[in-house]
Amino acid sequence: MKIGNWIEIDRLDELSRQDTPMHRLDARSKTLATIAFIVIVMSFPRHEISALMPFLIYPFALISIGRIPFGFIFRKILVAAPFAVVIGIFNPFFDRQPALFAGSFAISGGWLSFFSIMIRFGLTVSAALALAACTGMYGLCGGLERLGLPRIFAAQLLFLYRYLFVIADEGSRMMRSLELRSAGLSSLGFRVYGPLVGHLFLRSLARSERIYQAMVARGFSTGEIKIMRETGFCLKDWAFLTCWTAFFIVARIWNLADYVGKLFTG
């Protein structure tokens, strides 16, 4: 399997070229709304679970209106999920004090905090991925620059993303060459991967130099990010940002899931 196909780093570019109401919004409004979403989600107490449920609406709206495949977002979440599991898996061992009772069954505070970490991880990662898929890295970095991020940092963020393609492409070529010149990767020992990493670095460095020279030949000199589809901050962008931010604040102050549950159960 090719490295690029496994990571699917080019899939975001394909999705960002769609023409949907979510794609037509200004990058600044989506970025500010997503930052507010992440900050408010992470501000909840460590044992909170039910109050986080209404926040599922935001990433679901981005994914649905932006026509982003749910499977793509889910696969990316699964790739990063082990990091969140490592962070919270020890909580049940250190916090064994019962915090919730379901009949005669007691749930400790450690398990509640673990589930809360996983829910927050899923919410924030899905929102960030949906933002990138609905905006594209060029539009996202351009929006950050217009929000006041120094141009050098915006350019570095864009290059960091773009050169993942370079490394993935060079890695795919090297692995394919290695398979063709050997009896199979399983027959090789681990000692062969050390030199491979070194050669991958050198080849990526040489190719990145060629890419930079091509960029300079095409007018890149000041680090300015050129966006093909410029958008202005108009009424729909203000409405998007204001409505979603107001919803986040209301959901943070009041437990909407609890209110809805009491409304249906009396």
pLDDT tens-digit profile, the chain (266 residues): 444 444 566 677 788 888 888 988 888 899 999 999 999 999 998 888 888 999 999 999 999 999 999 888 898 898 888 888 888 888 878 877 776 766 667 777 778 888 889 999 999 999 999 998 888 887 888 888 888 888 778 878 877 777 777 777 777 777 777 777 766 555 566 667 777 778 777 877 787 788 778 877 877 665 666 655 556 678 899 999 999 999 999 999 998 888 887 777 76
| 3-state per-residue secondary structure call for 7-60 | HCCCHHHHHHCCCCCCCCCCHHHHHHHHHHHHHHHHCCCCCCCHHHHHHHHHHH
Query: Quick one: how far is CA 243 from the chain centroid?
Result: 22
So what's the pLDDT on residue 2?
Answer: 44
So what's the pLDDT on residue 42?
Answer: 92
So what's the pLDDT on residue 104?
Answer: 67
Q: Please answer whether residues 136 and 226 qualify as being in contact, where contact means their C-beta atoms are separated by less than 8 angstroms.
A: no
So what's the pLDDT on residue 187?
Answer: 55
Q: Give the C-alpha distances (Å, rounded to integers) separating 216 from 2, 25, 138, 159, 234.
A: 30, 31, 18, 14, 34
pTM of the model: 0.79
Token duo for residue 100: 């919730």
Q: Please answer whether residues 133 and 47 qualify as being in contact, where contact means their C-beta atoms are separated by less than 8 angstroms.
A: no
